[in-house]
Amino acid sequence: MPIEVKVPTVGESITSGVLGVWNKPDGAYVKAGDPLFEIETDKVTSEVVAESAGLLKHLVKAGDTVQIGQVVANIDEKAPAPAEAAAPAVQENGAKKEASRVEAAAPVAAGARGKAADEISPAVRYQAAEKGIDPSKISGTGKEGRVTKGDVLAAPEKSVPSVASASKGERTSRKKMSPLRQKIAARLLAVQQETAHLTTFNEVDLSNVMALRTKFQDRFVKKHEVKLGFMSFFVKAVVHALKVVPAINARLDGDEIVQNNFYDISCAISTDKGLFVPVIRDCDTMSFADVEKAIAMYAKKARDGKITLPDMEGGVFTITNGGVFGSLMSTPILNPPQCGILGMHTIQERPVAINGRVEIRPMMYLALTYDHRLVDGKEAVTFLATIKEVVENPAAVLLEV
């Protein structure tokens, strides 16, 4: 009897999702551990792999809404594995070649980029179509030079028409919102309606941080195998500020104030499928290298679609960095039930007054959005001023002053 492939449980509150893409075509022979399909829910996107080898039969189409526990495919374990295609035999006179049952793909010329079209998986085609690029033009880093989803995500967008793009002459097109985008939309609207959010601003001089990074970057990378970025400075500064202003390290639960005595910081990561906010645990006990490694690890998981619901639960404060996209200033939206979020922005060289003289310094605008039901203006301004002080004097973090 064929083995049933069911939609797995991905969270207690999740009952359905969308089968985003089949990684293996209908009728393909799969091996144990091969990725079969991706299930997209309103919170995460998960990859489902084959539990055993056999012949795969699809029972639903990509894009269909499926329920948790629903059977979406069968795997016939008794089906024989396909024989390896033998290389064409060349007769001694060189005049004829034995024809293979399966037509061999044209060899890739030396220096040519990408792989033949029939060697590109459906998952890669799906990602490439979303970005509007031709996957056969991408240099592959996978086994035998195959193009992976990571290669597609890392490739720059080009003017190749997307599969989902409108036909010539059409002025509009429609597509259904993904469960994740629907959840994000509902959540953002609820925050606007249910909290008394207010934003305060400040600016920070990054001269000292940039000097430290320039001075120690090579030694840091050599020792820790990860770059020293700006995020670790801001994570440590936020932890310090939460200790100075504990009111922001709290949340409302009905008519009660829940005070958090731990420092799990959420860091927003943008991907092609939406915004994910994984949580870095116990940041008060972590080194700069630990923070950078955690951020890099979560960023990779988010890009690969392998981030899980537990990765995003339990944070006490959020940091989001719109500066990587060139944002000069914004008002970030709260990530409930947290009562505070820090928005970082692009670094610009601007004239500022230093000891009575005008100097050009690398400046960044900071925005703190907070829930005014729980946090007063004095506390919010003190919190943001503390972050500014720590970032401008990073030695204070090491000295814990």
Which residues are known catalytic residues? 372, 376
Question: What angle, 0 to 180 degrees and rounded to 10, lies between the N-to-C axes of helices 207-224 and 377-392?
Answer: 60
Using alpha carbons only, give the angle 202, 344, 282 rounded to the nearest 5 degrees: 110
Residue 13, both tokens: 């509150």
CA distance 366 to 199: 10
* Alpha carbon separation from 303 to 63, 124, 129, 163, 181 (Å, rounded): 20, 13, 16, 21, 16
Cα of 353 vs its chain's centroid, Å = 39
Scan for tokens 């295609």, then name that residue.
85
Let me know: does 232 contact 238? Beta carbons within 8 Å: no
Q: How far apart are CA 265 and CA 282, in angstroms?
A: 8
CA atoms of 311 and 318, how far apart (whole Å)? 14
**Is the preceding omega at residue 337 within 30 degrees of 0, hence cis?**
yes
- What are the backbone dihedrals phi and psi of residue 35, each rounded to the nearest 5 degrees, phi first? -70, 125
Cα gap 307→326, rounded to integer Å? 26
- Cβ proximity of 301 and 293 under 8 Å: no
